[in-house]
Chains A and B, each alone.
Chain A
Amino acid sequence: MENKRKQPPRKKGFNYMKKRNVEHGFSVISLMIMIPVFFLTAIFLLVVPRSEKSNIEKRNLAKFPSFSFQDYFSGTYTAKITEYYDDTVPDRDNFKNMGYGFKSVFGIHTEEEVRIVGKPVAVVNDTDKDKANGKTEGSDKTENKTDKKTDNKTENKTDNKNNETSKSEETGNKVNTEKDEYKEASNGLIVVKHDGHYRGLELFGGGSGDSYVAALNSFHSDLGDSVKIYSMTPSTASEYYLPDAYSQYNVSQKETVESIASRLDSAISFVDVIPVLEGHSNEEIYLRTDHHWTPLGAYYAAQTFAKAAGVEFKDISTYKKVDIENFSGTLAAWAEDANLTADTETFSYYIPSNYEKCTTYYFDTACNDTGSGNFFCQVGSPEYNAYLTFMGGDEQVVKVKTDVKNGRKLMIVKDSYGNALPGYLFGSFEEIYVVDMRYFDNNLVQYIKDEGVTDLLFAMVSFSAVGGNADNLDVIRTQ
């Protein structure tokens, strides 16, 4: 193709004239093949009706732009025409699939983009799991957590939910706190690309969950059978979306959670949501840019819990769906990955139909009344703080009085994963209490008894159940 190199001489008796005629003749034949292929494709693209929607990409395709001089001189108008032409190819989805097929046949697998953030350690057996986790069982961690709790206590600012400004100021600190606590069970971050979108995944380092098991069993001993205790430990997204090739960096959250459940007292009901969520993993049950599940994922978990608790549960179709566009969450910030940051997502949450009939009361972490407010509230910039929509965050105790009259009072002891659950239970319990195990200053056993709680749900993500957060459970039980 490029500069002709020195080549050996032609054969003796080579007929140059004849060769030229053959070249000419076969070039004509070559053109007779190429011209129809080229122009028929051009005509096909011009006359066949253009695609308007991509089912694969779940989006409406580009529209032909309307003309304006401003757009024309900025180059936007012509760029949009090109985009329209290229984007709306007739039968686009089929051609796109053919493209994937071609790449697959020829061994091109660049679609599965992966980038690791941090330095994960391969976790092969139980001993390695603990090493990878950096998990140290014993008093050191408890001391650290107690210190952290004390620090948080001094900074504690439980404002009325209507005070949005002060809430948004806290946001940065919260993200950092969560990040620090998650680090203990985290084995680094991985950014993958699937179906044209980037997704951040925390690699799970594993852990025994001994503190969690011991604390829940102790709660059962303290409360007796008068309060029904449930344990729900959902996994993070890496359980479902981590490419197989990277499984050596990730401990199975399902196995870890099952191991925890097997050591709980038999009276404690294990709400096994991991297989339930697995059944919905083709839906948007986990945020791509954030370490939380989506409100839809929480819906399926709440449904599983309601079934275990034997209470009524409203179908999602009865809720009012609210979208927050262009959401970019914690994983995008932690990973500092330009692709993940740019690939924002829609955060959809669901407001129950009886929401107006329910009253949400806020208390500080020492259970002092700070007034009533909204359960669903916009905090700061929703595109970054969408997950704070539920109660504005974690640092308070919340009580929701619903219009249900069944005598059942639920308390959810949770980390931030649990924030998305209560809204789905407004039609299931008479009262719902929400306590974050990281920010509670009284004795929880006494509080449960004082309020007459009938159902106690521990809703903590697997990372919390095996990490330092679990140590707090015994602190709030005994303090």
Chain B
Amino acid sequence: MVFSSLFFVYFFLAITLAAYFFCKTIRSKNIVLVIASLVFYAWGEPIWVGLLVLSAFINWKAALLIQKYKKVKAATFIAGLAIVIDLAFLIIFKYSGFIVENINGLFHSSIPVPQITMPIGISFFTFQAISYILDVLWETVPAQKKYGRFLLYLSLFPQLIAGPIVRYSVIEKEISNRKSTPVDISEGAMRAIIGLSKKVIVANNLYVIVEQFFGSDITNLSFLGTWYGVIIYSLYVYFDFSGYSDIAIGLGRMFGFHFNENFNYPFICKTISEFWQRWHISLSSFFRDYLFYAPIFGRPRKYFNLFLVWFCTGMWHGASWNFIFWGLYFGIFIFIETLIGKKKLKKWNKIWTHVYSKLIIVIGFGIFYFTDLSQLGRFFLNISGISMISNGNAFGDLITWNSLVNNLFLIIFAILVSMPILPKIKYFFYEWGNNTVYAFGKVAGTVICCALLIICSILMVDNTNNPFLYFRF
């Protein structure tokens, strides 16, 4: 089920909210949420919902055993076993085809390529399960005794299929004891509406431009056309994914859960390291805490772990070489930045660091887009200007110019909203001003959000199929 569909918003969510707030006890509220979450998942994956339930059971049971044997080596063994099972699910469903294809290519063998459809969201709920197992092993959190509550954690529909990767420690207490205050419901609803607007008004329209430029063969695409296309794609990914995260965080808050942020205005970064502290925070912090600082293969090895983390980050995004290149590409720049050192980087001219970081990020999104490596090669020829010499491609073209002029408002709006303007406005009304200013801000914000919801609903009438990008991961 897609958040940005009328069916989800006005049927599924409406019924779920009504049922949830009709219930008085936390137990009954949890039951409503578990049922809603399983229906939500089964709607798209009627068979693999069983995998989700099974995965939840294995990890719940493993965590209890880890806690039981926490003083002996058996705990480590059980944790290892649980993680191996989790990763096995991930490898079988997500990477088996890719692995066999590469073995066939490398050894000229003809092993049949498994045609397995990947269950939606498996990368997200598997990582949540792994984080839970390791947290219990490292005694950061106690194991959840009740299966139903653990199933709720793993399957909670706002963050089930496209994140953020919520750690058990974040919502541990709220699973058994939470209250949705009017402030939570109101702020959560407004956050979700803003996320929906990011997706429906901005991302969906940006994607039309992306498809126009990158949707077919790009051999003859002009130099400026390629740059324009990839910049728009970078904005699109941000609005699509951060929009989803906003909806997830907003819905979670309406139900009384307070998830951590997943994005923090990544495009204002000055270095690549900073970008990854602001982009998909739940994933980068997962790798930081559970892989980078973990003593893999003996003692922690700083640079080995760094490249391992970036290899895995790329691999996590998809079973395709371009994602691995994408991860390692960022790994190289973070490695270089590590060698230079934070102090020296801070002394650099701010304009140049912004230009440097945006160039690397935008080109990186080109690598992210082109899963077809031959198209990726053409992308590099185009964006570097080499194809102007080798293929006679134009420097600019009318379509790029017209697209820019026609959509200037949308593009400027997208760039502005990708900068932290909204928090400043919110701070002014909510924090800085007196009660009258707060009241005005709250009512105006509510009215604007209602207008945005109506606009999104109208636009969704014409958007029958617009899944979020991160659904495929």
Contacts and interface: CB of A to CB of B under 8 A. Distances in A.
A96 B46 contact: no
Contacts of A405: none
A13 to B, nearest CB: 11
Contact of A46 (B11, B44, B216, B263): B11
B143 interface: no
Contact of A10 (B407, B431, B453): B431
Interface stretch (A109-117, A231-239, A355-363): A109-117
A113 B216 CA distance: 13
A89 interface: yes
B264 A38 contact: no
B124 to A, nearest CB: 19
Nearest to A338: B216
Interface in B1-38: 1-2, 5-7, 10-11, 14, 18
B399 A28 contact: no
A41 interface: yes
A86 interface: yes
Given A10-B432, A22-B435, A112 B11 contact: no
B267 to A, nearest CB: 12
A310 interface: no
Contact of A30 (B242, B392, B420, B442): B442
B215 A115 contact: yes
A83 interface: yes
Interface stretch (B80-88, B282-290, B332-340, B456-464): B456-464
A155 interface: no
Contacts of B457: 41
Contacts of A336: 216-217
Contact of A78 (B11, B44, B443): B44
A26 B220 CA distance: 56
A29 B447 CA distance: 11
A27 B410 contact: no
A103 B445 CA distance: 22
B53 interface: no
Contacts of B10: 38, 41-42, 45-46
B202 to A, nearest CB: 9
A85 B220 contact: no
Interface-central residue, A73, A74, A78, by most chain B CB under 10 Å: A78
A407 interface: no
Interface string A6-33: 0110110000001100111011111101
A99 B458 contact: yes
B310 to A, nearest CB: 23
A37 B454 contact: yes
Contact of A83 (B220, B422, B460, B464): B464
B458 A102 contact: yes
A37 B453 contact: yes
Nearest to B422: A1
Secondary structure dominating the interface of A: helix
Contact of A89 (B47, B443, B461): B461
A227 B10 CA distance: 72
A99 B435 contact: no
Given A102-B459, A245-B402, A2 B264 contact: yes
A107 B217 CA distance: 28
Contact of A95 (B191, B438, B449, B458): B458
Contacts of B2: 82
Interface stretch (B59-67, B97-105, B125-133, B180-188): B180-188
Nearest to A74: B46
B458 A115 contact: no
Given A27-B442, A107-B408, A119 B220 contact: yes
A113 B211 contact: yes
Interface string B205-225: 110110111011100100000
Contacts of A37: 450, 453-454
B43 interface: yes
Contacts of A83: 464
A339 B5 CA distance: 23
Interface in B414-436: 420, 422-423, 426-427, 431-432, 435
B193 to A, nearest CB: 8
A39 interface: yes
Contacts of B246: 1
B45 interface: yes
B218 to A, nearest CB: 10
A30 B181 CA distance: 13
B11 A42 contact: yes
A184 interface: no
B461 A118 contact: no
A86 B5 contact: yes
Interface string B111-150: 0000000000000000000000000000000000000000
Contact of A338 (B11, B215, B423): B215
Contacts of B407: 107-110
B2 to A, nearest CB: 8
A94 to B, nearest CB: 9
A364 B422 CA distance: 75
Given A1-B426, A337-B216, A102 B6 contact: no
Interface in B394-409: 394, 397-399, 402-403, 406-409
A34 B6 contact: no
B9 to A, nearest CB: 8
B212 A114 contact: yes
A82 B5 contact: yes
A118 B422 CA distance: 43
B189 interface: yes
Contacts of A11: 432
A394 interface: no
A29 B459 contact: no
Contact of A34 (B47, B189, B403, B420): B189
B320 interface: no
B208 A86 contact: no
B58 interface: no
A24 B181 contact: yes
Nearest to B430: A23
A1 B462 CA distance: 28
Given A41-B457, A107-B410, A109-B406, A86 B261 contact: no
Given A73-B47, A83-B464, 18 more contacts: A24-B181, A29-B443, A34-B189, A37-B454, A73-B46, A81-B7, A95-B461, A96-B462, A98-B458, A102-B458, A111-B208, A113-B212, A119-B220, A122-B398, A245-B402, A337-B215, A338-B216, A339-B211
10 contacts: A8-B432, A28-B182, A30-B443, A37-B454, A39-B14, A45-B11, A89-B461, A110-B205, A114-B402, A336-B217
